[in-house]
Structure 1
């Protein structure tokens, strides 16, 4: 069960997550081709380049020379920058010279003329922009999760807008800020891609977002931008999984489609529209996966002409001081630029490892099949045969997983299944598997006869926080009375009545305890008393109580439908709910005790249950409960002053979830609220008009007949300015 909860991400277990990462890393290293891909070249801003050219950042004039050399003399195919140019380059001193020409040297025309002649050579950003313009260049930039949403530079055009998703709630990797290139360079090279990796909880980079979201627009990664440019700049489209496989609520993409005319290329993606990096080898200059060329060799033209002809070139760095080294499954100081090179290679070869959207289903099937096999057979086998069975199942799970990875590049989970098989064997051999922990036994002895077992299981996690001592807490109490049992007892045999009563109580108890975390206080004849919020703290106790009442009313209707064909009379239900401060604890005598609630708020809940008959509804809820359950739409029944209370309280009836209220009911509720306003203002003519409208909408509603009679009686009385609109009940 723990393995299943971990697989479904309901109860993630950190050890299993780390083990899955270790297994994935081992599979990846075992499947790497470890061969040179000569299609991609990395121009490396390495220590040698920094020593020869100078510290980074270099002047943009040097970068312009680099671009010109790569395209004009080396004749490369595509150039991508794994760096960002977020600020203007003032290293030439042009900015200061312009200031001098407008201030101290303003009266020196010769200085101004000379500056005008030198301006084109001193404007390094303009030189770099001219080198980039009209060439197949992809600039790099980065996104951030800055809480202030700070930005710099200019973003490229997004590859998709929200309309492409057709309203589907796709979970993209989301960012709140960015650092991009200055306007001048962005205009010269309008195609750009972000170079953010995805860093797992253990600090390792295994995946990158292929497309990410910023302010409801969608932008491509550096590798995808370069790949699209290489194949003709196809349109990017979302690829949705088949609903039969992923379900209607699957909030992810199955793949990204690159459409160019009639040709479509599909790139599989995982959660967050990410893709795993298909690492080719250990990385670095000596790694043997890609050719590294020092940027200083390119700038000094030490490379023979056409050495890089037709190559895809990435400009990046391996210098430790420039902080672009990552921890990856294949190395602890892996150059970030090579991560993009790997992804470009994988896209060209259509060799991308993927965690499919159905991996959860695969994991659950393996866990259920292997788990049931072990659970059924292990207790029946001797120790030797149990060892053989456990090893056989573990080997089969491992072999299937590795075969799917090496054959189809499906990175499927494995740790939970292996851990489950090992734990099942170990626990089967251990007597401790059958022994309850001491804290659970003590709590079970203390609370087991009062509260649901599922709540006891929660209490076990922190046993010191619970006791039977009385305490004042805000809780929600319910009184539920069965209507019609008295008459039925006169017509039915005692055993038949007992059977029916037990059936009803079983259904209602399951709703209160099993589905909505309530505590059954007691059964009193044909009445059920329950409460929410103790002994386990339940912040949404009012919502759960209202939900229980609605479901109980529906369950009684279903029981009536089932019994109608048997000739059994129908039963009704009256439910009262109130929220307030109550005293809860273990109360009673030495002979008989109970974990129960008492107090004025409890008494009010009982009174409200009795009022359900008066207003012709099956549920009456106090105003305090209504305020704590805003998820429901409410019909105000009245303001009442019950026996034993001087203060009038509002009472309400739940119409259902507020977000699913139909138009007709909403219109009827609006008219009813207008009637109540007129009623409390003693405007009887307006009351008659609104009641007439209400009876046209719902002629069968008893509530409207009740108020019609009240209005008729109230007309006979003079206007009372002290009347608060409340109805007083003198009896219980």
Structure 2
């Protein structure tokens, strides 16, 4: 055992060193923030790959561009202009109005007019900036608690990927985020309110949405970046993802009818001169510059995200926790290091395996993203490449050193060993096939001992040649051997072709098992009958009589293994199901059919409709007390016989039903109709004989249609 362990350690030593080393370095680098910008850039691609979403018609953006500033002739715009702007918006009866413009100072003329508009508009929300250099809220709106924080969270690469839900102020109070407050006002009119799910963990429900705060244990973020209650932004898109209208059109009252009715209206700047445009995941700085997204559109995305999550169940976006990310990295490091160690022996496996790893990482990240999760993309890809390169290099170097030391010596030894092994395997495989060894979970015949066995549910097949004794009486012993071997060499491969293997030969008979189930057993039985039919053509051409073969198939629990004594062993199978299968095979001669299966075997077929199956009988075989339903698989018959049985199948089934209900005259009439078309239907003849016997002797008390066989 210790030698085995040492060999395993030696074999996998390189992998066991490289895998944790690469994983550890990548994890350390990730924790140090070395990969965060590249990880963010990789995850940003997911937003660009995602199919474009429809315009959110619940939100209208009133944008302020350079022409709008020229139109009002001053900036900041006067209080009178802002008052008129709000009145025109208010006239359309929106659910909420968000003013994303700082109004901490009076801008005459019209201040008193603006104050009056603020007081008379309970659904207007102003803004204040809390973090960094604070900017106060409009005093009137602050007193009315109609203020929200419009702070944005900028990542280390100057992009906005997070949104504020709640933000604390120096005085200990908290302000809702601008987009959040507008969304809650909108949803409140639909009766949807924030409800606690786990207050200790700050998890809340809102309709179909669940809010889980972003923490320093998530994604690429650190504790220093975790101010307030934050979430990841699941962007819908840029400005084009919402209804828009210019400030000038609103001031001139050129507002389409009902554009703002029952909607959220956000007023904000997009003019470059006002410096309120930002980088987001949609902006790529790698190739060509892309258009920045206005702050008002970012706040609209937060609002849209909350509305869609609460009403429609659109996924909120969450980042996987660091511990799971580390496990992900460890897994791919081990996977890639293992592939690298196989480079010398199976170069294509290393190449294809590495490519598959990349596809899995990217695909799983994309699928997870569509489901609302951000999982690492760059770090696992970097891990796969790094571990593969190091492992391949190490493997090549070790292999080169070993090759120079052992090449000549091992070459000669291997040649001789290979010759001997081929001889041994070829000889032993004739007695104990390789598939039998595999089934017993043994590598070679040397590992097989008396009593080795496997117990499981599987299909078993018995078959033999009908009237073999009569045939053999006309042949010499040598002719008997030649005949049996000629038959067996034709039908035996069909068992192997269907992943079965022969447990033992029974003279002219075969006992075989199919570990994979009944489908393979039935397919093998049909194929065997086809080979028998082909063999019969050759026999008839040479002047010999054709042969008939009966096959029985059943499925159940059984034990297969080695029996005998120390100096003489052979394979065998034991169980009541094996004995029952042998009896089923014997029934084929009574029913005159070629391929018979039990009810249990029929139920195990994955697609019984692909076969032409005829119910034959419910019978008790000799030596048993319980009845079993038996069926004929017509594909096992010659083409002419199969067509006749299919032609009479409906009359045959009706006759069976009459027989079971003791309407014997009707049953006999139907069976005679079958025989009129197919006089060689031995099953129909068998039933007519039974009916005659029952009609003469009388029906036994409590007769249930089950026939008890007293012969094998």
Could you state the TM-score of these two structures normalised by the residue count of structure 1? 0.44
The higher radius of gyration belongs to 2
- Greater percentage in helix: 2
Could you state the TM-score of these two structures normalised by the residue count of structure 2? 0.46
